[in-house]
Structure 1
């Protein structure tokens, strides 16, 4: 096995490192494979068949790469007799034998009559170019063996062959198609690329192409290693491909990826500014592998399609991009993304999901009225916590996506452990603000700062907490800027996340550095204790919301476990406070034990089975699946797709105000449209793929799909007018 693996690695490395030389070689100088190695299969002596090769000058065949397999049930009773070859030390196969000029092999012990055989072979040119492994099926009319005869007389037979693709291996002994296993005597020979991966395309409608990929059995195709473009198609642009649901696959080359083992049909939308019919040329580049075998290099196919004429309502404006926008990371687009990120972060201060944490900061700023210097320190430490957290969170999301994981913005609240821990934290902060406990400088003084007390650590950690809770709310505010960040170089992307953090921290920076604003803050006094206790209740409500999200992710049992853990946590904190004033060591030990008991549900909850998805929900929606959506498309139905999550406050507001209304349901009924809902509360690669296909990095996402029309993406803040316009006339 180790030797097999070494041969495979050597072949692959050769293909990679010799790519530059391959482009310099003129393949037209090489003979077609059936001229370089002309095969003639005929009857030999009675009960045998001969396989003769005529080898062109300057070419040679490998002896160890030659085999004959009888395909009929009668099979071959004898062994294949092949002559010795010329010894040759090969760079990758080691000491081998080769044939030149001509060679003849005999297979004996056969029954009489028409026999079918599969002949496998591989050869190279002295120029350093090798052909991929070849396979031919031939039929030979074998003469019956004479009873009792020791010798045989020749009887001519008919031959036939069906040549397969003779694509060339570039740059040395073998190419990426060369099978390491078969080279060493097994039958795991990979197919030529046009047989391993069939590609077809048709014009499905004036605004849609339908592509079909057919991997051979034992082969798979990568979803994210594909690219499509039109050649010389003025007035026509490609939309985003709508990939069907694939299979999650741990790949040794690209990590955790989506692949397809079976035939798939891929709708590819067209955006047209001209209505006339005419031909277009589509170029498709894709990559795939043999299961437990070799990986093919990227393959490119071109097809010419007759595009039918389009109706007036199927045309869109294709504005020519400016010089900056045409570049993926142009300066103008970057500055625009930074501006949107800064504005989104500023507006984020008003979002309900951020308000409880900002309540803590408001109290802290009120306490900082002692001096202008202290106000600036509060603002700077809070800003540092916000910026660092956004940078780390953005870097984590980028890194996981680059590794092939299907994650989007707000992914941390898809993890039940994170949701449960945040519920614990919000409850603990509320208990501290309510006066149940107050932790001094000994044990976890940082927690006291987190509860709103002044100090650099408390300001910094409050900024961290604001980002963790606030980040899922950012996608509706700045989806375009985040989408730009996710496809930009890392440094550019991080700058967008930092701009978002700066927007979130901007009000507190202004208060810290503008004395006139700081002077408007109320002076410290007895009212602060009352405010502190009042601010505990937003924390309790946030904990309740997080417990509800947890129940949606892992069922009501998960919520009950977490709620019980929070009660034990409250008991542990109360017991610690009592022992702190009483000086009881036993009391502190009991508090620590209770704390460990309280943390046990956080370990248990991720192991619980999530509730099963339902196909129909109470509001008449159909649960999202790529197969169901494809079936509805094929039926010519209009589909309103709502991608949502239980932790998305904007999603819930839109549903309450628009999507759960009788008016919306009547609009759908008037158009015989289907309401499809995808729940992204938990990690779902299929929904993430749909989001990515429409340029979204998070929820909410609303898409109207109409037959014969381009998909319409609606604004993240829905209105009835926008929905009606997208659905079209009834």
Structure 2
């Protein structure tokens, strides 16, 4: 397992290096001078600082998400509400800050990564909220104060971002605007953008790369039809697959089930089936067999065929292999979708699918980009065989997940299913009547193994790799908080690749372990590998529908501080420095 995580981490590091921003034209806001020197490219203020406003049990929660290497001044926060004929200034307590020797204000309290505050919410009324903040970047840029505006209806629980003109008009006329149709919470357009960005980032996941790589390379060959048509059909496969997942989620929730993104991977038999799919695909890429499925294109499986059917099923397969992953922006968008009517939830999932399909579709939309790809030749066969190894590594990882879910018996049954599948595939090549009969028997045995009782008996709850951790329970968390203890809750699962990479690069490093010990912070693990209604309820309380989720409960603060979904050792150490 550690080798697989190291492989995943290496892929992620190479991707990060490839996306580092180039030196850019920069403006010094303090002097008004500009230069083309190797100065950093600064984020727009709305990307550097993002306030997330939620309602919970009569409380208005304000959670500022602060980009890495940016900070907000404690003394520059301002919170105002406008209700009926009353404009009110509120003093929001964001908790203890760290003292920074700031080049503009000297030693002053600031917040890195996040800042959380809570206010009593007006009962059954509509009001406007104006949030003001000011911050700087460590690299030297200081932003002017900026305002964010929200319309809040405590009766329906809706929260919508509104333009400054809405506040100005209401302040003048003392009349509040009607709710935006269909928002049902935070601004729908913003959630759609988050979903689109999260879908694009899903393409960077290591188990998705081989599937997409083969399809993109096939565009350089003589396909049936134009490349742009293949791109559109591939996109349709992705979007329809995401909509199918959404419909299942909506249907189960309507029936009273409490589930979230990746719920299917909490079912051991489905994980075993998925591992078998990856195993068979890896054998195909490695050249162990060639089979004709539903067509007359020799040597291609459904997802590898060069016709329109192959393009569609590549989109379906890409969606399936992406389900263990959660990309940045996805958590907020999926959490929003989980609280909305079916039509809005479907639009968010469609945007997620469109984002995932977008890079491949854009490549097919511009023929010049396709021409830059190398032409087919012997190297392509070697490259195809190489891509079989990441798929085989993914199959091994999923087999390890089954072992964590069901114990050694479940893992053994899965490996026997691999054996039967491999035997059946080998027998197909013998092309005799007896071999055909044995092939059917082997495949039937593989299906029987996947439906055996060993994959329906959960093992004991998996233990964390950190010996200093405690298992999550709402009662234990409440007890620790009542005793004035700082608690860090890690909501994770063995099938969550993003969770495991975060643990490897940040949460389980020696420096972070030492920081937890020095600050006497309890490390609590909420393991969602198997379904747990209490952990699902915790996710819902913070408007999340998937993992990872990282919560830091500070003594005296009613709500946890929500950390980013992608962690680094430096970012987590900065957060822990704020704990006394």
Residue of structure 1 in register with 2:213 after alignment: 359
Choose the corresponding residue for 2:194, options 336, 340, 358.
340
Q: Deviations over 1:20-59 (max 9, x none)?
A: xxxxxxxxxxxxxxxxxxxxxxxxxxxxxxxxxxxxxxxx
From the superposition, tell whether residues 527 and 699 of structure 1 become closer, same or farther in structure 2 (CA, over 3 Å). Answer: same
The CA deviation at 1:619 is 3.1
Residue of structure 1 in register with 2:484 after alignment: 636
Choose the corresponding residue for 1:569, options 418, 421, 428.
421
Matched residues, number: 429
Contact 2:405-2:458 at 8 Å conserved across structures: yes
* SS in structure 2 of the partner of residue 448 of structure 1: coil
Unmatched 5+ residue regions in structure 1? 1-202, 208-230, 240-269, 274-279, 285-316
Q: TM-score, normalised by structure 2?
A: 0.67
Contact 1:429-1:451 at 8 Å conserved across structures: no
Residue of structure 1 in register with 2:352 after alignment: 500
The CA deviation at 1:485 is 1.4
The CA deviation at 1:237 is 9.5
The CA deviation at 1:674 is 0.5
The CA deviation at 1:503 is 1.3
The CA deviation at 1:336 is 1.3
Contact 1:547-1:562 at 8 Å conserved across structures: yes
Contact 2:241-2:316 at 8 Å conserved across structures: yes
Residue of structure 2 in register with 1:325 after alignment: 161
Residue of structure 1 in register with 2:31 after alignment: none
Contact 2:326-2:498 at 8 Å conserved across structures: no
* SS in structure 2 of the partner of residue 522 of structure 1: coil
Residue of structure 1 in register with 2:443 after alignment: 595
Contact 1:406-1:685 at 8 Å conserved across structures: yes
Choose the corresponding residue for 1:612, options 460, 470, 473.
460
The CA deviation at 1:617 is 5.4
Residue of structure 2 in register with 1:221 after alignment: none
The CA deviation at 1:708 is 0.6
Residue of structure 1 in register with 2:18 after alignment: none
Contact 2:427-2:435 at 8 Å conserved across structures: yes
Contact 1:702-1:715 at 8 Å conserved across structures: yes
* SS in structure 2 of the partner of residue 321 of structure 1: strand
Residue of structure 1 in register with 2:167 after alignment: none
Matching of residue 716 in structure 1 with residue 575 in structure 2: no
The CA deviation at 1:575 is 0.2
Contact 2:551-2:562 at 8 Å conserved across structures: yes
From the superposition, tell whether residues 338 and 322 of structure 1 become closer, same or farther in structure 2 (CA, over 3 Å). Answer: same
**What is the distance in 2 between the residues matched to 1:446 and 1:684?**
45
**What is the distance in 2 between the residues matched to 1:522 and 1:615?**
47
Matching of residue 671 in structure 1 with residue 523 in structure 2: no
Q: Deviations over 1:385-442 (max 9, x none)?
A: 1010001101211222232212111111111121111111111112222222222257
Contact 2:269-2:456 at 8 Å conserved across structures: no
Residue of structure 1 in register with 2:343 after alignment: 491
Contact 1:575-1:587 at 8 Å conserved across structures: yes
Q: Which has the larger radius of gyration?
A: 1
Residue of structure 1 in register with 2:231 after alignment: 379
Contact 1:417-1:606 at 8 Å conserved across structures: no
Residue of structure 2 in register with 1:586 after alignment: 434
Choose the corresponding residue for 1:405, options 242, 257, 260.
257
The CA deviation at 1:360 is 3.1
Q: Deviations over 1:689-708 (max 9, x none)?
A: 11111121111111011221
* SS in structure 2 of the partner of residue 535 of structure 1: helix
**What is the distance in 1 between the residues matched to 2:434 and 2:363?**
46
Contact 2:266-2:530 at 8 Å conserved across structures: yes
**What is the distance in 1 between the residues matched to 2:232 and 2:298?**
17
Unmatched 5+ residue regions in structure 2? 1-57, 62-83, 95-115, 125-145, 153-159, 163-178
**What is the distance in 2 between the residues matched to 1:469 and 1:350?**
12
Residue of structure 2 in register with 1:626 after alignment: 474
1:88-99 aligned at under 5 Å gives the runs: none
1:98-109 aligned at under 5 Å gives the runs: none
* SS in structure 2 of the partner of residue 453 of structure 1: coil
Q: Which of 521-530 and 491-500 deviates more?
A: 521-530
Q: Deviations over 1:640-694 (max 9, x none)?
A: 0000111111111111111112222222222221100011111111111111111
Residue of structure 2 in register with 1:102 after alignment: none
Higher relative contact order (CA 8 A, sep 6+): 2
The CA deviation at 1:725 is 4.6
Choose the corresponding residue for 1:456, options 304, 308, 314.
308
* SS in structure 2 of the partner of residue 483 of structure 1: helix
* SS in structure 2 of the partner of residue 708 of structure 1: coil
Contact 1:639-1:704 at 8 Å conserved across structures: yes
**What is the distance in 2 between the residues matched to 1:589 and 1:450?**
24
1:73-88 aligned at under 5 Å gives the runs: none
From the superposition, tell whether residues 726 and 478 of structure 1 become closer, same or farther in structure 2 (CA, over 3 Å). Answer: same
**What is the distance in 2 between the residues matched to 1:543 and 1:701?**
25
Residue of structure 2 in register with 1:192 after alignment: none
Residue of structure 2 in register with 1:96 after alignment: none
More helix by share: 2
**What is the distance in 2 between the residues matched to 1:664 and 1:394?**
37
**What is the distance in 1 between the residues matched to 2:375 and 2:357?**
22
1:193-204 aligned at under 5 Å gives the runs: none
The CA deviation at 1:509 is 1.1
**What is the distance in 2 between the residues matched to 1:446 and 1:610?**
42
Contact 1:554-1:605 at 8 Å conserved across structures: no
**What is the distance in 1 between the residues matched to 2:389 and 2:338?**
37
**What is the distance in 1 between the residues matched to 2:197 and 2:422?**
39
Could you list the runs of 4 or more consecutive aligned residues of structure 1 that deviate by over 6 angstroms after TM superposition?
231-234, 236-239, 280-284, 442-447
The CA deviation at 1:472 is 3.1
Q: Deviations over 1:54-86 (max 9, x none)?
A: xxxxxxxxxxxxxxxxxxxxxxxxxxxxxxxxx
Choose the corresponding residue for 1:529, options 362, 381, 385.
381
The CA deviation at 1:615 is 7.2
Choose the corresponding residue for 1:394, options 240, 246, 252.
246
